[in-house]
Amino acid sequence: MIVLKEIEKALGKKIVLKNLSFHIAFGEKVGIIGLNGAGKTTLMNVISGILKPDKGFIRVNGVESPMEHHHALRNIAYISGTRPQLWKDLKIKDSYEHCQKMYQIDKETAKCRLNALDEIFEVKPFLTAVPNSLSLGERMRCELVYGLLAEPEILMLDEALIGLDVSIKHKIMGYFEQCRMEKKSTMLFTSHNLLEVEKLCDRVILLDKGEIIFDGSIKRMMKEFAPLYRIEVKFEGNLPDFEDLPLEKFYYEHGVLEVVFDKQKIETTQLIKHIMEKCTVKDVKIKEPDLEDTIKKIYNGRKRS
Amino acid sequence: MRTYLEFAIKKFQNKMTYRFDFFMEIVNTIITIVVYLCIYKALYGGTKDIDGITYQMVATNFVISMGLSNAFKFNEMFLQDKIHDGTITNEFLKPVNFTFRMLWENIGEGAFKIVFNFIPALIFTIFYTSFCPPKSIINFLVMLVSISLGYLILWLISFIVQTWSFWLFSVWGIITIKNVFVNILSGSLLPIWFMPDLLRKIISFTPFESIYFTPVRIYLGELSGRDILSGMAIQILWIAVLAIVANVFWKKGVKKLVVQGG
């Protein structure tokens, strides 16, 4: 359970977070997205307690600053792609052993968890290596296992999936999706890869210059802000007449008709039916707007206003 | 407590994997001790004692204080590195006290170096020259306690200087100067017996005397009975004072980090 109320934070003279308020319930998976410098990492730092807000009210699992309470820290893992937690001069397995001691996990449980995590992250070959001898992706996998060993209630991932291979990333995403289904832990996730966010999170908080500009489910965001849909139709015969259908635009080039429309005004099926009635269609391609397009639109909208 | 002890043990084991490192350090310790012993042998030139201080006593002082000062070396840029690469904040999010973890890891390293650096060097120098035996078994055991207290003083002084890296870009220069002060004023380069009276008086008001010189004097029997107790009381007093100072700097530094974001 995370509660933020009217949080403000300035670093130097720059105000990084402005008047942020939101709740995150237990088990929610929240993606924090925004452009560079939007305040994502600062927000994560404030929640973890590494940074103290200048103003406002914050509680994480009922504690104001987890940093000062070891029992609270045992339930939080903050995995960052830019700040390694593994000690440079320790072998990975020694770091894991420290983790087991610090989080007071008994030896057998830790072993079981490590075996289970190894199936996904494949870290066993690196156990006797030191972090610096590993590649970025390999190290990141070790970092993730380190954070997950303690099975924290609150899992914070700040750009934690960088440098991973496609195949292993797929497995890891699968693992997190499974976590999402099980609702065992609260997850906060920042990433530049919106595909990841879309897959892993129920809810997104969109930040722009330290302010929340959207907070809600991805579905709602798409419905409210999704830009226009496009259909590409290859057909034979004459250009169909659209009569009074509420389309935005259409282009015709090299035998391909491209129709741009707003889904709130006309359904896709209705439109296709109309075209099929008028001419022989050879091929149809529907382009749905994705999260990226939607977010782009939201930002552009803000810039204009 | 168990957890922190584990850190020390892990560090000890970890050091074992870098054997070549410690082999070179033994050579280093032996050479420095032998060079200094040669100089003092020449200075004594056959005289039995100077102001009641015999060559054997000086040799004993050197082996203990210089040998230990080599064994008690640890990475003093540790905190600065952690602050510079930002990983210090991760340490705050671990459910252990970071300062204690640092201390215990350094203790583990010190223990390793005593076993694999100090003791081999000691055995070598025993063949090279003669020392004073400890006054009694009890004196020897009390000295061991006193050395541990001396280590804490040494560590706290280093830690205080390390915490300045919250404000300064580099504390390397300050650490170097600090080490010169520690080496000279603790008597590991020039025995405190031979220092001018005024300087000796001044040193007696600093924590430096308590680092190696108090244990050495307990070992030799220069301090006995009540003096041993008062000597160790002064050590404990310095630990308390330095711990308070260290805590103030540490708290201020952490606060700066938490408010300004490093």
B12 Cβ under 8 Å from any chain A Cβ: no
Question: pLDDT tens for residues B190-237?
Answer: 888 888 999 999 998 999 999 999 999 999 988 878 899 999 999 999
The arithmetic mean of pLDDT across residues A258-270, rounded, is 80
Candidate from A51, A85, A90 with C-beta closest to B258: A51
**Which DSSP letter does residue A64 get?**
S
Q: How confident is the model at residue B22 (pLDDT cuts 50, 70, 90)?
A: confident
Q: Considering only CB atoms, which chain B residues are within 8 Å of A76?
A: 93
SS (H, E, C) B71-134: HCCCCCCHHHHHHHCCCHHHHHCCCCCHHHHHHHHHHHHHHHHHHHHHHHHHHHHHHHCCCCCC
Report the residue from A91, A94, A102 with minimal CB separation from B96. Answer: A102
Task: Identify the band that residue B246 occupies on the pLDDT scale cut at 50, 70 and 90.
Answer: very high
Nearest chain B Cα distance for residue A291, angstroms: 32
- For residue A264, give Cα distances in angstroms to A267, B1, B64: 7, 64, 85
Domains of chain A: which residue ranges?
2-217, 228-288
Higher pLDDT, A209 or B141: B141
- Reported as a pLDDT band with limits 50, 70 and 90, residue B26 is confident
Residues of A in contact with B7 (CB under 8 A): 98
**Optimal mutation site among A8, A67, A128, A144, interface B, most CBs of chain B within 10 A:** A67
DSSP assignment string, A127-195:
TTS-GGGS-HHHHHHHHHHHHHHT--SEEEEESTTTT--HHHHHHHHHHHHHHHHHT-SEEEEE-S-HH
CATH architecture classification, A2-217: 3-Layer(aba) Sandwich (3.40)
CA atoms of B150 and B144, how far apart (whole Å):
10
Q: Which of A242-251, B53-62, B150-159 has the lowest mean pLDDT?
A: A242-251
CA B210 – CA B217 distance, rounded (Å): 10
pLDDT of res. A305: 63
Name every chain B residue with its beta carbon within 8 A of the beta carbon of A71.
95
Domain boundaries, chain B: 2-260
Taking alpha carbons only, the member of A144, A87, B181 closest to residue B173 is B181
- What tokens does B239 get? 């630990």
Which 3 state secondary structure label does DSSP give A280?
Answer: strand
A166-191 mean pLDDT? 84
Of A93, A102, A104, A155, which to mutate for an interface test with B (greatest number of B Cβ within 10 Å)? A102
Mutation choice for A interface testing from B1, B7, B10, B78 by most A CBs within 10 A: B10
Does B10 sit within 8 Å of A98, measured CB to CB? yes
pLDDT band, residue B106 (cuts 50/70/90): very high
Asked whether residue B140 carries a pLDDT value surpassing 80, the answer given is: yes
Q: Is A75 on the interface with B (CB under 8 A)?
A: no
Cβ distance B95 to A102 less than 8 Å, yes or no, reads yes
Q: For residue A183, name the pLDDT band (cuts at 50, 70, 90).
A: low
A58 three-class SS:
strand
Give, to the nearest 10 degrees, the angle between helix B119-128 and helix B19-44.
Answer: 30
Say yes or no for a CB contact (<8 Å) between A66 and B93: yes
The model's pLDDT over A47-87, given as tens digits with 9 standing for 90+, comes to 988 899 999 999 998 888 888 888 888 889 999 888 888 88
Give mean pLDDT, residues B129-150.
90
Rounded Cα distance between A180 and A188, Å, is 11
Q: Do B94 and A73 touch (CB under 8 A)?
A: yes
Count Cα neighbours of A291 within 13 Å in the Cβ-side half-sphere: 21
Nearest alpha carbon to residue A82 among A211, A190, A195, A193: A190
A161: pLDDT strictly greater than 90: no
For residue B86, which residues of chain A lie inside 8 Å, CB to CB? 82-83
Burial class (CB in 10 A: 0-12, 13-18, 19+), A118: middle
Q: Is the minimum CB–CB distance between B90 and chain A shorter than 8 Å?
A: yes
- CB contacts of A93 in chain B (<8 Å) are none
Task: Name the closest residue on chain B to residue A85, using Cα atoms.
Answer: B90
Nearest-angstrom CA–CA distance, B51 and B227 = 21
Cβ separation B261–A45 shorter than 8 A: yes
Chain B contact present for A83, CB below 8 A: yes
Give the fold, CATH level 3, of A228-288: Alpha-Beta Plaits (3.30.70)
User: What is the C-alpha radius of gyration for chain A, rounded to an integer number of angstroms?
Assistant: 24
Q: What pLDDT is attached to residue B111?
A: 92
On whether any CB of chain A is under 8 Å from the CB of B262, the answer is: no
Q: How many Å apart are CA B214 and CA B216, to the nearest integer?
A: 5
Q: Are A55 and A8 in contact (CB under 8 A)?
A: yes
Distance CA B31, CA B37 (A): 10
Concatenate the DSSP letters of all residues of A181-248 into one string.
HHT-SEEEEE-S-HHHHHHH-SEEEEEETTEEEEEEEHHHHHHHH---EEEEEEEESSPPP-TT--EE
| Residues B153-179 as b or e (16 or more Cβ within 10 Å = b) | bbbbbbbbbbbbbbeeeebeeebeebb
Residue A120 has pLDDT above 70, yes or no: yes
| pLDDT surpasses 70 at B17 | yes
Q: Within an 8 Å CB–CB cutoff, is residue B47 touching chain A?
A: no
**3 state DSSP class of B213:** helix
CB contact under 8 A, A98 and B86: no
pTM of the model: 0.86
Predicted confidence (pLDDT) per residue in B46-75, tens digit: 788 888 888 888 888 888 888 899 889 899
